[in-house]
Amino acid sequence: MLPVHTNETRKRCADSPAGSAGVMEPYSGPNPGVGTERDRVRVSRRRRAGTLRLRCIEGRRPVTDAPPPDFDVDEALAARLVDAQHPDLADEVRFVANGWDNAMFRLGDDLAIRMPRRREALDLMVHEQRWLPELAPRLPVAVPAPVRNGRPAPELGYDAPWSIVPWFRGASGLAFDVATRDVAVNALASFVAELGATPAPADAPRNAWRGVPLAHRDDDVRSRLARGRIPGAAGLVPVWDRALAASGWSGPPVWLHGDLHPHNLLLAPSGALVAVVDFGDVTAGDPATDLATAWLTFGPSARRRFRAELEERRGVDEATWARARGWALVIASAVVDRAGPSGPFGTVASSALEQVRLD
């Protein structure tokens, strides 16, 4: 990601195989994955005469600035969990990536294992397990609805929920330039429109950092803009003031992805949208939160198309777009404040802040 949605202490990054949902396979070719390096070990599982054998071969791991883990997870543990709880799916296990909150492993050719590596991710995993199977059928884009839910297994040294999810072949949106990401605009607009098309139920997950009135984020944003870590921060203050001045959301809470930035979009080499991943922040609230992807993901021309599509399908008003611009500032400023303006995440966040400033 944008590593986060913070209250300065609870910041998280997208964790798919370069980020969050653990269902990405980087393409080679003209748009290779960003920030990859050789990993030392990949564990493969082979059953011979009933014996599990592990062999070490090379793998690839995207670079992240992930914090230290609370849970030690590795290929051997992932394999033991599958053997113990879902033996009918036992297959080769290969490490893919450590994200901010989750570790990802590939399971055979068509599945992946998503395992929390931090305590903060436990409730988020439960939210995905509870709600994605209900949301997936209504969405026009593939999402990683769990194939199987894994239970905490303290007897194996892992007291956390985990999931087996589909494996999608795509690359993180961070691996592409803006012009290529712009290809995904119509598909992402359709996804956002459908996800927020109906009010969420009363028991939808609550999230103190997403979908809430922008005023709840005022202290965090002003503190970041005053710290001196964000280039051009002074020019963002009037943008934030205008977003706060926009009328608030008066409709019922609607479904939100909650973390809709390029790292949680899996794209084909052409830029076509393959899947939307990492629903750990799924919640209900102000639709402006997800509309912020207009600035986080796209350039000016595609952003106009995204806006036109949403206005046609959902009748989004000016106040909601003003709040959406504010949400883009919330998310992108958190990344630059924490990670700096360079690197895969910082570069995308810095670009988003520039787009917010210019619009």
What ranges do the domains of the chain cover? 36-169, 172-358
pLDDT in tens, 160-173: 999 999 999 999 99
What pLDDT was estimated at residue 125? Answer: 97
Q: Is the four-CA dihedral 178, 359, 252, 127 of positive or negative sign?
A: positive
**For range 181-186, the mean pLDDT:** 98
Residue 209: Cβ within 10 Å count? 23
Domains 36-169 and 172-358 share a fold: no
pLDDT digits (tens, 9 = 90+) for 304-326: 999 999 999 999 999 999 999 99
The answer to whether 163 touches 125, Cβ cutoff 8 Å, is yes
CB 101 within 8 A of CB 121: yes
Percentage of the chain exceeding pLDDT 90: 77
pLDDT tens for 201-247 read 999 999 999 999 999 999 999 999 999 999 999 999 999 999 999 99
DSSP state of 92: -
To the question of pTM greater than 0.85 for the whole model, the response is no
Provide the CA 339 distance to its chain's centre, in angstroms. 17
The answer to whether residue 107 scores a pLDDT higher than 70 is: yes
Q: Tens of pLDDT along 137-152?
A: 999 999 999 999 999 9
Q: Which helix (H) or strand (E) holds 46?
A: strand 36-48
Q: Count of residues for the chain?
A: 359
Q: What's the average model confidence in pLDDT over 321-339?
A: 96
Give residue 65's pLDDT band: very low, low, confident or very high (50, 70, 90). low
Contact 279, 127 (CB under 8 A): yes
What are the helix and strand counts (H, E) for the chain? Answer: 11, 12
CATH number of the domain located at residue range(s) 172-358 in this protein: 3.90.1200.10
Look at phi and psi of residue 4 and say left if phi exceeds 0, alpha if psi is from -120 to 50, else beta. Answer: left
pLDDT of residue 66: 64
For residues 183 and 272, give the distance between their C-alpha atoms in angstroms, rounded to a whole number.
Answer: 6
CB 9 within 8 A of CB 101: no
* Domain 36-169 architecture: 2-Layer Sandwich (3.30)
Name every residue whose Cβ is closer than 8 Å to that of residue 354 and which is 6 or more positions away in sequence: 232
Measured distance CA(243)–CA(94) in Å, rounded = 45
Which long-range CB contacts under 8 A does 80-86 form with residues at least 24 apart? 80/156, 81/113, 81/115, 81/150, 81/153, 81/156, 81/158, 81/162, 82/107, 82/113, 82/164, 83/52, 84/153, 84/156, 85/148, 85/150, 85/151, 85/153, 86/148, 86/150, 86/164
Q: Say if CB 82 and CB 90 are below 8 A apart.
A: yes
